[in-house]
Every structure is written in structure tokens, then in C-alpha cells.
Amino acid sequence: MIKRALWQGLIAGTAGGVVMTLGEKLEQAITKRPDSHVPARVLQRLTGMPEHPGKQPLPVNWAMHFGQAALLGVLRSTMAHSGLRGPAASAKFTVVRLTNDQILENATGVGAPPHTWPRKELVIDVLHKAVYAFATGAIADALAARSGPGPGQSHAAIRPGRHADVGPLPRHEAHGR
């Protein structure tokens, strides 16, 4: 499962990053909001690269933007392979995507906590991260479904819900050792 989750997650996350970027560009064309240079600044701080005032180099911005999208896609693919699929799983993953951004931006001193942002800016950011999460989720779910149900789905098929009298799947049917 791990190898499949890795390569499928990189594909799903990268595709989700592309969908998010296209949505951002469409939104920016309508709202006239300028490009964000936060991803580049975060990557510069994390790697010790030289920092630049003002507009940041596009390759550095995209390296962080798409690199983060691809790597987080692996987590969403792992969720799908475990049996956490569909819109509810993608909604949970939206929170993970937002949290990841905030940890990196705040830890490096590049960003500020979202509760301090103007409401409009916060809504736009959450919307774009949700687009990423749901696009990544749809692709990760479709790829994982080719391998059949995940262990969680198989367990739920025994008797839906959580019940004390339903034990775990046999070890050989799960992804553990």
C-alpha cells in the first residue's frame, strides 16, 4: 500500500495544486488580487536561501506551492487507501492543508495567524485550500478505488458503525504487519 499511496498521492496532490492554481488565477482576474509571494518566502526561510524584498522569483514560489501540494497529496492518498474516502474525508483534509500552511508560515515568521487576517482574505484562502483538498481527494479516491476497498471500509462492511462486539479485521486483510 505504501508504494501505491506514495506515487498516487504525488499525482493527486500535484493535480490538486494545478486545479487550485487555475482557480486562484480565475479569482485574481475577477478580484484584481495580486499574486502571493508567501510560498517563496517560506521556502527561503526553511532552506536558508537568500531572501528578496518585494516580488519573489516565480520558480521558488512554484517550487514551494506545488511541492507542498504534491507532498500533502501523499497523506490524502494514504487516507484513501485506508478507507477514508469521499467528501467527508476531503473536508477533513481541507483542515490539514490549512494547518500545514499555517504551521510553516507562522513558524518561519512569514505569516500571521488567520484570526488576524481581514475576513475577505481568510475566506479566499479557505476557498482555495478547499478546492485543492477536494480535487486532490477525488483523484486520490479514484486511484485508491482501483485497489478495492480500504481496510476501514472492509471493517465497516461487517457491521456499519462502531460496536464493541465487532473486532478488528484479520491482520492479513489490513495494511499493518
The model's pLDDT over 152-171, given as tens digits with 9 standing for 90+, comes to 777 677 767 776 776 676 77
Concatenate the DSSP letters of all residues of 43-98 into one string.
Answer: HHHHHTPPP-SSSPPHHHHHHHHHHHHHHHHHHHHHHHHHT--SHHHHHHHHHHHH
DSSP 110: S
Instruction: Report the helix count and the strand count for the chain, using DSSP H and E.
Output: 6, 0
Report pTM. Answer: 0.88
pLDDT tens digit string along 52-103?
888 899 999 999 999 999 999 999 999 999 999 999 999 999 999 999 999 9
Residue 150 phi, psi dihedral angles, 5° rounding: -80, 165
- Contact between 86 and 150 under an 8 Å Cβ cutoff? The reply is no
